[in-house]
Chains A and B, each alone.
Chain A
Amino acid sequence: MTTATAQRRIERAGSFDPGPIFFIGAIVVLLILVVVPLGWLLWISVQRPEIGGVTLANYAEAFTKSIYLRPIFNSLILATSVATLAALIGTPLAWLIARTDLPGRKGLRALITAAFVTPSFIGAEAWILLAAPNSGWINRAIASFTHADHGPLNIFSLGGAIFVMALYNVPYTFTFVAGGLELLPVELEDASSTLGASAWRTMRSITLPLVTPAIIAGFIMSFLEALAEFGTPAFLMIPARTQVVTTQLYLFFQFPVRTELAAAYAMPLLAVTLLLLLLQRRILGRRKFTMVGGKGGRRRLIGLGAWRWPLLAIALVVPLCSVVLPYLALLATSLSRIWSQGPVPGNITFHWYHWALFENAPTRLAVFHSLSYGAAAATVATILAFLIAYTANRRLFPGAQALGIVCMAPFVVPGIVLAIGIYAAYSHPPLVLYGTATILIIAFTTRFLPIAYSNLNTMVGTINADLENAARTLGATRIRALRTITAPLLRRGLLASWLLVFIPAIRELSSAIFLFTPRTATMTTQIFDFTDAGNYEAVATLAIIILAITLVIVSVAYRFLGRDFMEKTST
């Protein structure tokens, strides 16, 4: 051994290993992000300042007064209708695209993906432009055609909210069922045909029962989305003075603020979400079992014959309503000096983009806030998820896997409920964060941490521990091995996780609305405020900016990370 080498090795032998600090730090951050807010939520739900001690008074008030019971009933109607409609539309659409020779299947798929990445509250804004009772373009077109005073459509209603939310929930059922149909062994259907069954009978007695679990899973997913959705009901139902649970929770935060009551009122939302997700897991788990042995090789497409074009026309109605018309409406509005005049010569202008991005400081800041908070949340969530996934996978200490469960916990917490917990935990000493950017970053990080974790957990599991151990026997500390070996090997997974958090974070409304102040407004909260003020040109401009950013990122990610990239958001 050369003396220089020996000398250095000996020096290093006495050096301090900072490894544990990183892992302990990760655990502390996890506590701040997940455990403290959820703990506070439970705690304040049994508190009442004027009574003191532990009390069930909040629960008693929340679940006996009829003005609070009505929104619960409305939420159930809304969620059930949305999920049913979405499943009824999504299932045949999936079959048409996955199993038949329908023309333009690729384009349809792309449009459905576009609907998937469009937040439904932006869809709601677009449909206000299209179908507001007096000013909506479709209403005006119909009215001028029929010479009536006003058109027949009223988007400001429970029915309007159901329509819009169903449109943007179709992709859930579609993705689940199309995935199921693609995995379905073609032999199962062939077996039925060889026994003399007609194509229709085979579909009814073989195909449909086999994809039923996927349909139910899609239904549950849509049901939960609809239950937790805040933006669309806020935009379409508050004007109609019809409340659902999420909008009622928002009202609890108007003066006088009743945080404790809100916490109690949010509990059923949490409980239903948890139960339905457990149910969905069971159903999907069983589905996997029934699929074992499927070769899933190349399959024959079912010929639609003369029905091809009529069916395509029907299939196009969904993306027409969820993507084409709304995007056109938003684009036209954002390019119009005054939206009600429509995109006619003389009215077309880039003024609103210039205004939003340069002239008007609040919107300019909001764009910056959305991007920077989103980037910060994505960075924190990715690093944290990576460290925790590593800790759990390599079992750095007994019970390390429990940390993974903590990381996944926010998955069952609707954004609005999480926001209440974060507000409750960090609006008083020792940690006063209300009004800061930090509280929004915490909300976004916590909310989308499960996406990053489930993605990275799988990926860390695929890295052979020998690769790190080799680095350690060569003198690298655990952290150095993590930094120089494991992280570079996972770079695609880390990038994917970052994007999977960043994309939903820049369009997150439901938790931001509880936590922002004018100094920390984001694009989404600005959209909310402009809607209140009736400034739809600004709404449309910000919506187009959000959609443009999202679509650019998604298409770039598709190219570099592969087609299965977005599908992770649905699980």
Chain B
Amino acid sequence: MARIEIAGLTKAYGGRGTARAVDGIDLAIADGEVMALVGPSGCGKTTTLQLLAGFLKPDAGTITVGERVVSSAQHVVPPERRRMSLIFQSYAVWPHKTVFENVAYGLRVMKLSRSDIEDRVRDVLRSVRMSDLAQRYPSELSGGQQQRIALARAVVVEPETLLLDEPLSNLDANLREEMRFEIRRVHDTTGITMVYVTHDQTEAMVAADRIALMRDGKIAQVGTARDIYESPASAFVAKFVGGTNTLPATLVDPHTVECCGARLRVRDDFDAAARGPVILCVRPHELIIAPESGDDGTGYRENGRNRIAGVVVRQTYLGDARDYLIDVGGAQVRVSTPPSEDRGIGSTVHLDVAVEACRIVPGD
């Protein structure tokens, strides 16, 4: 099995130095780990995967698998010698071969004996519950079945690493759930190292041990789903994972900010030597609309909560929740409330939020 170490990896398109798709990333993936590369489109995650698979040659930096340097600006071990299987967004199941032939392909390349090939193909098809369809052609299969074939074809050769490029994005919601489970099960039974590219943060959270969040060819943050959700390193991370309101604020002391005309207490895990402009992140469901009580005081209150005042700009009934857009003095915040919380447009409301839910990230 394989530990993968990426160091200073850089790839530019359209000539050296222009438009860096991957811009000097460092990432270590432990043996047997599932690492998700997540980010908006154009962040460089697919390019990183193509570099890992050996389809692209880096302009700088190295990729090391175990003890072996497989990619550098000088030399790239070609894809067929990297012991990495790749699952494609487009499935890439060969339409001119039967299910059996698709899965057997890699074993034939290895020159295994006919009986070995038959045994292994039969086993892997059983494990993805496709035994009955071995003699079918891909055009006779559904998208989910094709993706299972792609998975079987990739794992039957027992690769050291499994790379997955948006494997679920072409499936409908039900199948996505099923395939997510399937992929995780493959990992649990084989202990294979996986690198999983997706733009969907939920998918990453479910599938991966750790998440590397990418933006503009760089890694914005690496950590477990919980690390990233609870302690985002930047407003971008907070927005991308889970979604958040961002409010411009001024740091007064390590646990106090000036924001929306009020003085609020915040989590003090933000390591800021300097005072000055920062960004306050509050997730929509952590804000609650306070009951009307005649008490108009804002700022940090004795009950351990912050309160700010605002005016309802818009609200939408969503069945299981109500989505509010509230103007809090220049900035607008989204608030997700229970559906019963019905306030008219233009009405003044007070928003309460726990100190624990108020995170500070550096200003951009």
Contact = CB atoms under 8 A, between A and B. Distances in A.
A558 B21 CA distance: 47
A474 B55 contact: no
Interface string B112-132: 100010000000000000000
Interface string B73-96: 000001111111110111010111
Contact of A476 (B80, B82, B150): B80
B83 A9 contact: yes
Contacts, number: 81
Contacts of B150: 470
A489 B105 CA distance: 15
A185 to B, nearest CB: 33
Interface string A303-346: 00000000000000000000000000000000000000000000
Given A1-B158, A5-B158, A474 B85 contact: yes
A470 B109 contact: no
Interface stretch (A198-206, A363-371, A403-411, A461-469): A461-469
A467 B109 CA distance: 16
A473 B80 contact: yes
Contacts of B88: 466, 469-470
A464 B90 contact: yes
Contacts of A474: 80, 85, 105-106, 109, 153-154, 157
B106 A469 contact: no
Nearest to A474: B106
Nearest to B190: A1
Contacts of B81: 12-13, 475
A480 B158 CA distance: 20
A472 B158 contact: no
Interface string B42-59: 000000000001010000
B158 A477 contact: no
- Give the one of A12, A470, A471 with max B CB within 10 A: A470
Contacts of A478: 78
B318 interface: no
A489 B106 CA distance: 18
A17 interface: yes
A277 interface: no
Given A474-B85, A474-B153, A477-B78, A467 B94 contact: yes
Nearest to A15: B81
B173 interface: no
Nearest to A488: B96
Contact of A473 (B95, B154, B158): B154
Nearest to B156: A474
A215 B279 CA distance: 68
Contacts of B158: 1-2, 5
A469 B92 contact: yes
Interface residues of B, number: 32
Contacts of A476: 80, 105, 109
Interface string A5-30: 10011001100010000000000000
A9 B110 contact: yes
B16 interface: no
Contacts of A467: 92, 94
- Contact-residue size bin, chain A (C-beta under 8 Å from the other chain): 20 to 34
A485 interface: yes
B175 to A, nearest CB: 20
A470 B103 CA distance: 11
A473 B85 contact: yes
Residue among B109, B112, B153 having the largest count of chain A Cβ atoms under 10 Å:
B109
Contacts of A473: 53, 79-80, 82, 84-86, 154, 159, 163
Interface in B266-324: none
A472 B111 contact: no
Nearest to B157: A474
Interface in A386-437: none
Given A469-B88, A470-B86, A475-B109, A17 B78 contact: yes
Contacts of B111: 8
A475 B110 contact: yes
Contacts of B83: 9
B92 A8 contact: no
Given A5-B110, A8-B111, A474-B105, A469 B95 contact: no
A466 B83 CA distance: 17
Nearest to A17: B78
A197 B105 CA distance: 65
B112 A480 contact: no
A47 B86 CA distance: 59
B184 to A, nearest CB: 21
Contacts of B116: 4
- Please indicate which of the listed interface residues B82, B83, B163 has the most CB atoms of chain A within 10 Å of its own CB: B83
Interface in A528-561: none
B110 A470 contact: no
Given A12-B110, A473-B85, 12 more contacts: A1-B158, A2-B158, A4-B116, A5-B157, A9-B110, A469-B92, A473-B79, A474-B80, A474-B106, A474-B153, A475-B81, A489-B94
Interface of A: 1-2, 4-5, 8-9, 12-13, 17, 464, 466-467, 469-478, 480, 484-485, 488-489
12 contacts: A8-B110, A8-B111, A9-B83, A470-B92, A471-B94, A472-B79, A473-B79, A473-B84, A474-B109, A476-B80, A484-B105, A485-B94
Interface of B: 53, 55, 78-86, 88-90, 92, 94-96, 105-106, 109-112, 116, 150, 153-154, 157-159, 163
Closest 9 CB pairs of A and B: A474-B106, A466-B92, A470-B92, A475-B109, A472-B79, A473-B86, A466-B88, A1-B158, A13-B81
